[in-house]
Amino acid sequence: MSKRITVSLSDTIYQRLLDSVSDRQISKFVSDSVEQKLTGNLTTKEAVEQFFTLQKKLPIVPMDVVQSNIKRGRM
Amino acid sequence: MSVFCVDASVVVGFLLRSSRGSEQCIEKLLPEVERGEISLIAPSFFLQEVSNALRFSLTNSADAFLAQMSFQNLPIQMIHLEPFQQASILSTAYALDTAVYDCAYHYLAVLKNGIFLTADKKYYKKAQHLGSIQLV
- CA distance linking residue B4 with residue B6, whole number of Å: 6
Q: What are the strands of the beta sheet with B76-79, ordered from one edge?
A: B76-79, B38-43, B2-6, B115-118, B133-135
pLDDT classification of B42: cutoffs 50, 70, 90: very high
State percent of chain B over pLDDT 90: 88
B70 vs A35, A54, A65: nearest CB: A54
Give A50→chain B minimum CA distance, Å.
Answer: 7
Across chain A, what does the average pLDDT equal? 85
Cβ separation of B49 and A44 shorter than 8 Å?
no
The three-state secondary structure class of B20 is helix
Q: pLDDT tens digit string along B8-31?
A: 999 999 999 999 999 999 999 999
- The reported pLDDT for the residue numbered A40 is 66
- Stated pTM of the model: 0.79
Does B43 or B34 have the greater pLDDT score?
A: B43
Q: What ipTM, to 2 d.p.?
A: 0.85
Region A8-15 average pLDDT: 90
